[in-house]
Structure 1
Amino acid sequence: MTAADQHQESGKFPDLRGTTRYAASLRLSVAPMMDWTDTHCRVFHRLLAPHARLYTEMVHANAVIHGDRSRLLAMDPVEHPVALQLGGSEPELLAQAAVIGAQLGFDEVNLNCGCPSDRVQAGRFGACLMREPALVAGSVAAMIEAVSTLETPVPVTVKCRLGVDDDHRYEVFRDFVDEVAAAGCRMFVVHARNAWLKGLSPKENREVPPLRYDWAYALKRERPELAVIVNGGIATQEEATAHLDHADGAMLGRAAYHDPWLLHRLDVAWFGGQLRTRGELLRALRPYVEAQLARGVFLKHITRHLLGLFHGERGGRAFRQILSEGAHRPGADWSLVEAALAVTGHKEQAAA
């Protein structure tokens, strides 16, 4: 039995589906990012943004069914509301994986229709699914039917691009959404760029194809019954806030990772609460860090997610350097974090 199974059986996972808190989390979310949004990252982001919706890295349905779930689907109860993002293109496997995710306590299951990597293309999933709306609709229908048999069903959602390669017609994008919505999907996270499947790396695909937020806005106007979340290129509080005039929410990707205090500022601005200093927020993570160290987790696996906390601030470069150079060393512990904090001017608890 995995740790997640034990939490589920003991009732430690709060059931947020259908609650006001879960609905409100549509407004602010953090994108699923491969190699980034693991459980340690999500615990840190939850501390920064108590009201945001968080997403796992994409996990292929086969891995969910046959892989090491205790590692691939690791989740701390504080992360809720948190969604499991699945990759795949076989409806039966996606349905099985969706049930497993729901049973492990994830609050939502999201199907990836936007990743442009070569590996994803070779497996016929991710962004190339934008060209197969019938397959996506069938997959979504199978997932919804499977989770509907559970005591507490979870929403099945889709994260997509505007199109692939030379698909530059809004009507094609809208028809894709309409076909998938007809299968029961009520929420679409729209990365407002095309995916170029040939000639661009995944990194370039996040930067080179032009942004067309107006397509996401038009979709919301024309299909008001759908929840439409805008993703892609959002780098400032002002940019994120502007999307709320046209869509149901804004999803931050790299900005939340490289400048995590932006996530905290948005949460406070949109939901209320007290703005906390970077040092205060980081020290609030100490109990989690020390608990993980006691379990045998290496400090480097946690601190790699903290490097951007002092982005643009005095001492920010030294903060990153101290953590980067020291966290991999044997015996590295919280004292290294305090040493890094000290160079930023947060010295008041350095001896703690």
Structure 2
Amino acid sequence: MERKPLNIAAQCLSVAPMMDWTDRHCRYFHRQLTKSALLYTEMVVADAVIRGDRQRLLSYDDAEHPVALQLGGSDPEKLAEATRIAADFGYDEINLNVGCPSDRVQSGTFGACLMLQPDLVARCIEAMRRAAPDTVRVTVKCRIGVDEQDPEIALFGLARDVIAAGSQAVWVHARKAWLQGLSPRENRDIPPLDYDIVYRLKRVHPDVFIGINGGITDLDQVRDHLTRVDGAMLGRAAYHSPGILAGVDAMMSGGTAAEPDYQRIMEAMAAYADRHVTAGGRVQHVTRHMIGLFQGMPGARRYRQILTVETAKPDCGPDVLFAAMQAVHLEDATAPAA
């Protein structure tokens, strides 16, 4: 089926790429809650795409669209080759990681340390754009700077260079990354947020999609950001309390959020889990992403307990989802996405 390129002029809410979390099972689950949000993969290293098991690394369910692949790397030729391969899998967007601060990423000379080499990032983006078909947009996700960099110089300089090289969007995690002195986990919380600098970046580039990430916990905050930038990205809030995603479609269309159809969601996920088990997987691979679905509702604790304990058993089947859902008192709760 022929697909049209994403409308990059439109406002967008996305779920951030998160290592060990936003795998294909997580994305399929999130898609049951929202049809409009852009879903990101975990970061995949370009070398792995070129040399590794492509089906395992890049395959996904068609229901996940719109879906973006995030690549890690710093070699323009390798990133171009990985882009060509990924484009054949039908991704809507291919994003270059210029924001991850982990030691493993630094040792590979990619991620946030690339903030120190904006010229190299621009060459990578130029190569990726040449390799990508018109139906696939190429984008960057970065920080506002690293270590002692002046964000006014680092962010605006990087953005200028990658936009000139052809990046069709710049997603900004509105914190510095401290490559020395902070762990990856600490880098998600300790460096202070600076949303204003991202707003200023948008004013400098009014015709380019600018998205914001970092510390966004609810849809009210999303609405506020979208008055100043083009996109807002939910990270841990979407993973730990995925019910928030049930309000996204109504928010983006200007409608009123309705109570999620939890029975439909569970039926869809049970069928998906059954297909995964038939292919040799385990139910737990799917259900681990669903633990927070009823966060804050009566019976949520028992729901989490059932999914955690029962799915660890080797003979557990998809019916565990319905057993867990029975513990939740939906009649006593309102939609968590309100």
TM range (shorter): over 0.9
Structure 1 contact 278–310 (Cα < 8 Å) conserved: no
Partner of 1:208: 190
Structure 2 residue aligned with 1:279: 262
Shift of 1:23: 5.6
Alignment of 1:44-193 (within 5 A): 44-147=29-132, 150=133, 152-193=134-175
- 2:286 aligns to what? 302
Q: Identity over aligned residues, as a percent? A: 50
Q: Which amino acid aligns with 2:286?
A: I
Which whole-Å CA distance do the structure 2 matches of 1:346 and 1:325 have between them? Answer: 22
Q: Secondary structure at the match of 1:194?
A: strand
Amino acid at match of 1:297: G
Deviations 1:287-324 (A, max 9, x none): 22222222222000000000010111111121111101
Q: In structure 2, what is the Cα distance between the partners aligned to 1:110 and 1:251?
A: 14
One-letter code aligned to 2:271: P
* Corresponding residue SS for 1:192: strand
| Cα pair distance change 1:75/1:215, threshold 3 Å | same
Q: Report if the CA contact (8 A) 2:38-2:68 is conserved.
A: yes
Q: Read off the aligned partner of 1:235 and give its amino acid letter.
A: T
Q: Indicate whether 1:322 and 2:310 are aligned.
A: no
In structure 1, distance between residues paired with 2:178 and 2:153: 19
**Residue deviations 1:129-156, cap 9 Å, x none?**
0010000000100111122xx4x54211
Q: Secondary structure in 1 aligned to 2:319?
A: helix
Report the 3-state secondary structure (helix = DSSP H, G, I; strand = E; otherwise coil) of the residue aligned with 1:43: helix
The alignment status of 1:17 with 2:5, answered yes or no, reads yes
1:245 aligns with 2:227: yes
Task: Decide whether the 8 Å contact of 2:59 with 2:89 is kept in 1.
Answer: no
Distance 2:284 2:330 in 1: 21
**Separation of aligned partners in 1, 2:296 and 2:330:** 16
Counterpart of 2:215 (choices 233, 241, 253) is: 233
Instruction: Give the aligned residue type for 1:275.
Output: A
1:328 match: secondary structure: coil
Q: 1:274 to 1:176 in 2, by over 3 A?
A: closer
Give the distance between the partners of 2:299 and 2:170, measured in 1 at CA: 40
2:327 to 343, 348, 351: 343
CA distance in 1, matches of 2:313, 2:285: 12
Alignment of 1:216-227 (within 5 A): 216-227=198-209
**In structure 1, C-alpha distance between the alignment counterparts of 2:47 and 2:324, rounded to whole Å:** 41
Amino acid at match of 2:67: V
Determine helix, strand or coil for the equivalent of 1:208.
Answer: coil
TM-score, length-scaled by structure 1: 0.89
Q: Give the C-alpha shift of residue 56 in structure 1.
A: 0.6
1:263 to 237, 245, 248: 245
1:312 aligns with 2:296: yes
- 1:190-234 residue CA offsets vs partner (Å, 9 max, x unmatched): 000000101211111111100000011000011101100110100
TM-score (structure 2 length as normaliser): 0.93
Mapped contact 1:298–1:328 kept (Cα < 8 A): no
Residues 153 and 27 of structure 1, relative CA distance in 2, 3 Å threshold: closer
Q: CA deviation at 1:268?
A: 2.1
Are the equivalent residues in 2 in contact too, given 1:240–1:250 (CA < 8 A)?
A: yes
> Could you say if the C-alpha distance between residues 326 and 278 of structure 1 is closer, same or farther in structure 2, counting changes exceeding 3 Å?
farther
Q: Distance in 1 between matches of 2:168 and 2:279?
A: 40
- How many residues align? The count is 329
Q: d(CA) in 2 for partners of 1:16 and 1:55?
A: 18
Give the Cα separation in 1 of the matches to 2:151 and 2:96: 23
Return the letter of the residue paired with 1:92. E
